Structure 1
Amino acid sequence: MPRSVLVSYSPISHVERNKVITIPDTHDEDTDLMFLKRECLKSFNFGSNVSLSVVFQKYDVDWDSFVDLDDDCYLEHKDKLRFIVTPQLHDSSVPSETNGPSFQDSDVKDMFCSIEEMVDDEAPSQKKFKSDDDIDDPVLPVLSPAVIEVHEEEKQEGPLPDPFPFPKNFSSEVELALSSQKMTKETTSAFLSQIASAMFFYKRKPTKEEYTRVAKDILLKYPFMKPSSGSTTGGIIQALIDRFKQFRRIKKPQRVLQVQVLLVQHPLLFQSVYQLLKLLFLLQEKTVHHLSLITS
């Protein structure tokens, strides 16, 4: 017979939501949890154009705690479950270190010029944005690995998920600052950058209303981040907008862009490649000079 289960979902900015979902005797998914995942994403209004990590939990009497369910778990009638959703921030199109693109001489030259521009220009970590008193002039860190490619053509985008699923994990420094409720300019900047990266994964051009909604969600979850004066959400909204401008600024040719993403993800590799290319070009200049002396 069909089984009905109660699924609870607790978004950051809303009260707990509960849905009763019926699992039929036969369905087109491999397991009950796969069927339940599909139905929950529809019932809780998650868009079909987003990639999410979903976990179901069930209360365990022996452990007196909620525990994760295995994918092949059989669900009983009137089971009570928790529905936990986190965004998938990694793009499968990122070239790996062992499976990178091939380059021609012109590509290497363009890559070197691009690296020179990144080094000679003001470092990304020093760029500023306008904000309120509580988060004035925080540093803007290097682009998140979640920001992979920006194509010239913009596909039609749906709205951001409502409620917005915040990243589950932050860096250890940000986690410590959040738990102690003592945010510095650096940790505030890193926190907002990861929030912006999660937003960018879902939508490349959010509306002003969506920026405002996410900013309000942040302050509901972390009320200690509210400014002592001025606009409550204005500084956070401007910070998120500035990061999106930074994300969309990537308009390089595809092969050069892939190299830049790889170097951004691996700063030590960036320094090594930069020094190696400087050495190669210096060697090339000396070789040309010696050849000119020999032939003269």
Structure 2
Amino acid sequence: MGTVALAVTDGMLHFELAVAYEVFGAAPASVDVPWYDVEVCGAQDGVRVGRFGLRPDHGLDRLPRADTVIVPGWADVDADPPAELVDAVRAAHEAGARVASLCTGAFVLAAAGLLDGRRATTHWAHTAVLAARHPDVEVDPDVLYVDGGSVLTSAGKAAALDLCLHLVRLDHGPAVANAVARRLVVPPHRAGGQAQFVAAPVPARDDHPLAALLPWAIERLDRPLTVEDLARRARMSSRHLGRHFRAVTGTTPLQWLLTQRIRRAQELLEATDDSVDTIAAATGMGTATTLRRHFHRTVGVPPDTYRRTFRSRPAAGDGSGVRHRHPLEPQ
């Protein structure tokens, strides 16, 4: 299926690079299809990837010859990625290559202008930074990966593997992608729209206008809170509140509230036997129908399926007290 070029420079994250090499480097023994020709491209006198040294096969000028270019995670998101890497990735896309970033590799694609006007994602801890630095990018902090056709982006770590398997699925079909997943002993498919399971962002300073507001709202998720309620509590206008929310959480007040309600529903589904109707009331969703609609769209599975998958207490007949990880569970 053509050439996959892994674009590497000093400062790349080794996990994401290793994931891409493992997925595209060799076909499973059970698969008899033409496989990818993987090339590692970077400074040929060697690069440092994490704590490891690496000698690339080719220089970055090789990227425009590739069919697919993979940009692994970029370690220092506070610094601009190297100009030669940015230029090479841009040139590859202009030459017709499919370009995919893993984790914070999205910062390289954004610097190259490939994400302008596009929806994209990265590791949840850096979505606000990406959105602030590149305002023309529609940053989605709540998905595992985004397939934009010729440009794809993923969230962090395990989601990088999800995106690589997604590319195999696009190129070879689900049977081959499943064979790769079996070899790696990972879930065969997690939809890109499934939520990143993230901790609620909180302001870094105690004197921030949202420092007291966010805990106050979380304690009242069973109530039908509105943006006006939040603004009144914070003693600011709704527009001013929205700017603070975007800066701290990377999203709007309403979307943040919905995320907290879904997260609370997840906790109740895991830890209680409460009905979906009861949980809908406890999370301010109102009705089971509303909860099911928002939960399925956000998490990727219905509440009942989630409960069966993620129960935190031992299953019947299992006295171990150990939570067993289901293959669908995000890592």
The alignment's TM-score, normalised by the length of structure 1, stands at 0.23
Q: Which has the higher contact order (CA 8 A, sep 6+)?
A: 1
Larger Rg: 1
